[in-house]
Amino acid sequence: MDALTASPLCPSPLELQLAEIRFAAPELIVTATARRRVVACPKCGHASTRVHSRYSRTLSDLPWHGLRVRLDVHVRRFFCDVPGCKRRIFTERLPKTASSYARRTARAASALEAIGLALGGRAGARLAAALGLAGAPSEILSILSAIHAVVSDCSSDRATSTVRVLGVDDWAWRKGQRYGTILVDLERHHVIDLLPDRESDTLVAWLCAHPGVEFISRDRAGGYADAARRGAPGAIQIADRFHLLRNLTDAAQHALERHHTIVRAIGLDAKPPTPVLLKRGGPVSRRWTLGASDLPANPPNDPPLAEQRKLARRARRQSRYDEMIALRTGGASVAAIHRSLGLSRKTIMRWTGAGAFPERQPAVRRETSLTPHAEYLAERWRGGCHNVTQLWRELRDGRGFHGGLTTVLAWARLHLRGTVIPKIPEASLAVTARPTSRPSSRRAAWLLTAPLDQLKAPELRYVEAICTESSALAAVHSLAMEFRGMLKTHDPNALALSLDTAERSELRSLAAGLRRDKDAVLAAILFRWSNGQVEGQVNRLKLIKRTMYGRAGFALLRRRVLAA
């Protein structure tokens, strides 16, 4: 049989000649001989025709109709007659059939490599066995480990091509503990590289090694912004529009939490107020002006922002508890309270049986670098030393403390500064007087900042009722619509005016953050690039990572993601 007519059974007809095919359970044995008459010495390149000896090479090949195929190749050793060549005797190479010392053909190794990139070690070995390919998990992983870069031509082009528009985002190897960075070419829609952490220095080193980046799309994290400034100072940074809108919703949620008494009194079944301030598909019909009474109080001795939010959450729970107790005392059933307040039946029964407002237990805090010095700090504070900087210097110079000033400051705020919990006024409630459908604070924040043409009629009435009851929340809604309009129409001229207005409203913290990142926000308004497709690539990365069950390391994950 001619090898050229049986190429599926012969890996390289130019190198091998098919001699015999026989079946020996459970595999098919194919015998082939080397057919080249002249072979070059691998050391000096001189052609040789003088045969020294012959031997057989056994190789695993691709399966044939579900049967395993074993390739017995008869190859030769040659003399090198060139004077001075160190290789006096050499074995002829079969580069298109198999590499030196290999136990399988090149096409079988490529098949196992593709299976390993798609499934990993153990899952790939199970699929290979079902297909008739011999390959243990360790063998598949060793094939993948031999890849210094992604093998496909497309991936080879990625390493050498210049990235003009780069998308940067983090991904969790172990959520809350270990993170990495994914880099995506937004023009070509594929992953460029994975970095093992999300440190600024790592991204700076990558950007310095890959010059030519003109645009960098990122989230609002300060680490990536700093890395982009240091690694690619000439690139334009673009804040991701999704994260900008997410920041807007978060700020609106905090504003609603500060006005929870008003929000709790309004449901999605609220009657349309008069006059109607909103119109579907259009902007607010009038502009809200903020007076001194609308500005939030900000005395100099206010507790930290985190404590303020904690107190606001407790006040919100206290208000719902008072409503539940009033309804229960008035004879309302558990089902009626559930329909009226939106509380679960389990929560209603637990609160009723508690006999008092159920305070949440503080979380058990782990030991920190400041734990050994806690008694010393408490003693110094009771002795009258309330200067946190002085306490930090004493710990650093006299007690071997290596932490920062902010650690001591956070400890002082948490353990030693008392705060006054606002008293919630009692109210007489009736079951029939309460709205029957209340959205959560997160849902209410989205309704307050969502485009009007996406809201249904009850949701529009809900937003109108909130804006009627509170001019401060109406200003939040107006600013949200203006900000969405800027992102939609790509008009950066109104940003400065909107930030000035927002600084005098409930969105002052959002305005401060946007002003610090003003250039990237302006770029987000002007340019079309965003991190949308980066989030999709992170989703694919999570799928690949979870199929590995945590058994492999970063190197294998990187190869699989780049080859996906």
- pLDDT-derived band at 290 (thresholds 50, 70, 90) equals very low
pTM score, whole prediction:
0.62
- Residues 203, 253 contacting (CB under 8 angstroms): no
pLDDT recorded at residue 83 = 87
pLDDT at 195 over 90: yes
pLDDT in tens, 3-28: 444 446 678 878 888 888 888 888 88
Choice among 6-10, 42-46, 48-52, 543-547 with the minimum mean pLDDT:
6-10
Q: How many percent of the chain have pLDDT more than 70?
A: 83
- The more confident residue out of 2 and 390 is 390
- pLDDT for the residue 426: 41
380 - beta bridge partners? none
Q: Quick one: three-class SS letters along 114-134? A: HHHHHHCCHHHHHHHHHHCCC
Domain ranges of the chain: 3-103, 153-240+532-563, 245-303+445-526, 371-415
Judged by average pLDDT, the poorest of 56-70, 324-338, 356-370, 517-531 is 356-370
In this prediction, residues 46-51 reach a mean pLDDT of 86
Query: Rounded CA gap, 90 and 92, in Å?
Result: 7
Taking 60 as the threshold, does the pLDDT of residue 292 lie above it? no
Per-residue pLDDT of 147-188, as tens digits, reads 544 334 444 445 456 889 999 999 988 877 889 999 999 999
Q: Residue for token digits 């090949």? A: 61
List the single range of 18-32, 224-238, 367-381 with lowest mean pLDDT: 367-381
DSSP H or E segment with residue 363: none
Predicted pLDDT of residue 270: 60
Q: What is the pLDDT of residues 371-384, one digit of tens each?
A: 888 888 888 888 88
For domain 153-240+532-563, give the fold: Nucleotidyltransferase; domain 5 (3.30.420)
Average pLDDT, integer, range 130-150: 73
Cβ contacts of 112 within 8 Å, gap of 6 or more? 104, 124, 128, 133, 135, 139, 140, 143
Query: Cβ contacts of residue 243 below 8 Å, gap of 6+?
Result: 219, 220, 531
Report how far residue 462's alpha carbon sits from residue 442's, in angstroms, rounded to the nearest whole number: 14
Mean pLDDT of the chain: 79
